[in-house]
């Protein structure tokens, strides 16, 4: 009886660890293929607001966005 409980607890711990590792790998691959925001998106957003951004402004926004990651 005690052995069954220990196997259950051990299985749960191993499952949680493996699930965390696998989900982390999958998320990293997804983020590499589909970055959350890039320079082209910032330029498009500013253009839609009626502004023509300079490269300096785009770089400044990218720095601010990366600062909060």
DSSP characters over 8-60: HHHHHHHHHHHHHHHHHHHHHHHHHHS-S--HHHHHHHHHHTT----HHHHHH
> Rounded mean pLDDT of the chain?
91
Does 69 score more than 80 pLDDT? Answer: no
Percent of the chain beyond pLDDT 90? Answer: 72
Where are the domains positioned within the chain? 1-34, 35-69
pLDDT above 90 for 46: yes
Q: Look at the pTM and tell me if it is higher than 0.75.
A: no
Mean pLDDT (whole number) for 18-28: 96
pLDDT average, residue stretch 20-36 = 91
Report pLDDT for 25: 96
């Amino acid at each position: 009886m005690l052995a069954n409980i220990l196997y259950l607890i051990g299985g749960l711990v191993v499952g949680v660890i493996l699930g965390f590792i696998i989900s982390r790998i999958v998320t990293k691959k997804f983020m590499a293929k589909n970055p959350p925001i890039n320079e082209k998106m910032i330029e498009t957003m500013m253009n839609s607001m009626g502004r023509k951004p300079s490269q300096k402004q785009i770089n400044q926004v990218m720095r601010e966005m990366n600062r909060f990651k």
